[in-house]
Amino acid sequence: MAAPRAPLELRHVPAPRPEPGGAVLETVASEVCGTDVHLHHGRLAGVPYPIVPGHVSVGRVLETNGPLRDALGREIGIGRLVTFYDVYGICGSCWHCLVAKAGTRCPQRKVYGITTGLGDGLLGGWAERIELKPGVRVLPLPEGLDASDFMGGGCGLPTGFHAVERAQVALGDTVVVQGSGPVGLNALVFAQLAGALRVLVTGAPSARLAEARRLGADETLDVGATRDPAERARWVRDRTGGRGADVVIEASGNPQAVVEGLEMLRDAGRYVIVGQYTDAGDVTLNPHRHLNRRHATVLGCWGYEYTHLHRSVEMMARHRERFGWARLVTREYPLAEAERALADMEALSVVKALIRPSPPA
Ligand SMILES: [Zn+2]
Ligand SMILES: [Zn+2]
């Protein structure tokens, strides 16, 4: 991706070699997600174009330079199918890391395929090889999971997991998820695993809502068909004895959804905002009605840490049959069709799109 809004280019570059402590992966699959659409529109600050997109990927270990180990200290062998935490370089020594214990806000933090450019190396999954820098946390896929399973969750898997953890979903809660993209769908999954009594999903288009029902949503509301936000909030209150939901998770990306979501929340409920990854503008709140009198707890949720990736992948391995994440992959594209993959993602005509640099032999 040479520059925002410019056509994607297929480039040949020298094959990467691992630095000491690093590794090189042969890419199996890499995701196309909403972030890549934002990158192509130039809506994220500090992106060092040209970049190789693809922040969440699966590959086989091709070469290492010194032992490569997982979080348990076990050596990861050549040929092993792995994913990795796309964030690296968290310094562990700045104010954010040491005092605030907010590693996702560390200014040294770098992200594969987003805040790293072609000048930093082959640090994105839309390529035949991926270079793993020393210190990148590598996670071998557990037995029974293949690349399509993991990539069906993609970055939405640990992000949805983090949002549910942040919401402290309790046994018997009624949860509303606003948004039926990969983050919303994974929040729906983990809310159930966290003990929610039921989960309601508002979103669009209908194919994504059908996936939500397959994944266990009790009911879904098509925001394209029910256009009045007041009516949508009423839909939630009608199902909660007029009170509103215990927990609402915003995973839509639309700023207006925040006002709407607070209208759906019961008094003393918990609201988590995870969908506002880019700055899509301001909204007007009524602090008295939406927050103070409602006694609401409102939490932002930025990115995820290695712990969320690790635990969400273990949960995926345990619940693979029940949720069938691989079915969320609507379509796979070779590198030469990356432009089309982006267009399909932008049009929401796919739930999950993958780049497969080399078609399976
Ligand atoms: Zn730091
Ligand atoms: Zn992503």
Span from the CA of 304 to the centroid of ligand 1 (angstroms): 15
Nearest-ligand number for the alpha carbon of 103: 1
Span from the CA of 56 to the centroid of ligand 2 (angstroms): 6
User: Mean pLDDT across the stretch 68-77?
Assistant: 97
- C-alpha distances in Å from residue 282, one per residue of 178, 259, 286: 18, 11, 13
Span from the CA of 48 to the centroid of ligand 1 (angstroms): 20
Contact 345, 32 (CB under 8 A): yes
Nearest-ligand number for the alpha carbon of 114: 2
Residue 102 has pLDDT above 90, yes or no: no
Span from the CA of 150 to the centroid of ligand 2 (angstroms): 13
Residue 50's pLDDT band (boundaries 50, 70, 90)? very high
Span from the CA of 234 to the centroid of ligand 2 (angstroms): 32
Residue 104's pLDDT band (boundaries 50, 70, 90)? confident
Give me the phi and psi of 306, to 5 degrees please.
-55, -40
Span from the CA of 94 to the centroid of ligand 1 (angstroms): 4
Range scoring the smallest mean pLDDT among 3-7, 101-105, 272-276 = 101-105
Span from the CA of 136 to the centroid of ligand 2 (angstroms): 17
Q: Could you tell me the pTM of the whole model?
A: 0.95
Span from the CA of 154 to the centroid of ligand 2 (angstroms): 7
Span from the CA of 70 to the centroid of ligand 1 (angstroms): 22
Span from the CA of 87 to the centroid of ligand 1 (angstroms): 12
Nearest-ligand number for the alpha carbon of 96: 1
Here the tokens at position 174 are: 């009624």
Nearest-ligand number for the alpha carbon of 35: 2
- pLDDT tens, residue by residue, 151-164: 999 999 999 999 99
- C-alpha distances in Å from residue 6, one per residue of 1, 10, 42, 239, 357: 7, 13, 10, 47, 21
| Mean of the per-residue pLDDT values of the chain | 95
Tell me how crowded residue 173 is: count the other CB atoms within 10 A of its CB: 20
Q: Strand pairing partners for 354?
A: 31, 332
Range scoring the smallest mean pLDDT among 49-63, 96-110, 255-269 = 96-110
Span from the CA of 100 to the centroid of ligand 1 (angstroms): 10
- C-alpha distances in Å from residue 313, one per residue of 2, 66, 160, 267, 310: 32, 26, 12, 34, 5
* Percentage with pLDDT > 90 across the chain: 93
Q: Note the pLDDT of residue 220.
A: 98
Span from the CA of 228 to the centroid of ligand 2 (angstroms): 30
Cα–Cα distance for residue pair 160/99, rounded to 1 Å: 26
Task: Count how many Cα atoms sit within 13 Å of the Cα of residue 299 in the half-sphere of its side chain.
Answer: 17
Span from the CA of 55 to the centroid of ligand 2 (angstroms): 6
User: Mean pLDDT across the stretch 154-183?
Assistant: 97
User: Mean pLDDT across the stretch 115-131?
Assistant: 96
Residue 340's pLDDT band (boundaries 50, 70, 90)? very high
Range scoring the smallest mean pLDDT among 35-49, 152-166, 221-235 = 35-49
Span from the CA of 185 to the centroid of ligand 1 (angstroms): 31
Span from the CA of 206 to the centroid of ligand 1 (angstroms): 42
What is the bridge-based pairing of β-strands 219-222 and 23-32?
unpaired
Contact 186, 159 (CB under 8 A): yes
Nearest-ligand number for the alpha carbon of 31: 2
Nearest-ligand number for the alpha carbon of 38: 2
Range scoring the smallest mean pLDDT among 11-15, 105-109, 218-222 = 105-109
Contact 61, 77 (CB under 8 A): yes
Q: Note the pLDDT of residue 359.
A: 59
Span from the CA of 278 to the centroid of ligand 1 (angstroms): 22
